[in-house]
Amino acid sequence: MQIQVDFYRLSGKWYAGGLVEIGDVGLHQKEDFMQAVVDAQQILVDSWTAHGEYYVVTSPGKDDDRFVNVLFLPHQFQGMKRK
C-alpha cells in the first residue's frame, strides 16, 4: 500500500513529504505500521527519529479509500531505527 507521509515541524509548518510504500501493514498494527514508515520513507535522513522534531501525518495514497489520515506525535517515533 502506498501512503502519503508529511512531516511538520513543532511549529506546525510543513517541512517535507512524499509517497511511501509500506506493503500490506495496516494501521491496526500500530507498531508494525510505524516501523514500516521508518523503514520505507526516503524523505528525511535516518536520524530524524532520534530528535523528536517532527509531527508525522499519514494519509491515503492516490486512489485508495482504505486509509484515514493519522497524526503521530514527535515522541512516538523516538528510538525507532530503520531495519
Residues 6+ away with beta carbon under 8 Å from 43 = 5, 7, 16, 17, 18, 20
Q: What is the pTM of this model?
A: 0.82
10-23 average pLDDT score: 90
Residue 54 has pLDDT above 80, yes or no: yes
Residue 46 has pLDDT above 90, yes or no: no
Q: What is the pLDDT of residue 66?
A: 66
Cell numbers at 65, concatenated: 479509500
pLDDT category at 13 given cuts 50, 70, 90 is very high
Instruction: Give the number of other CB atoms < 10 A from CB of residue 13.
Output: 7
Mean pLDDT of the chain: 84
Amino acid 39 reads D
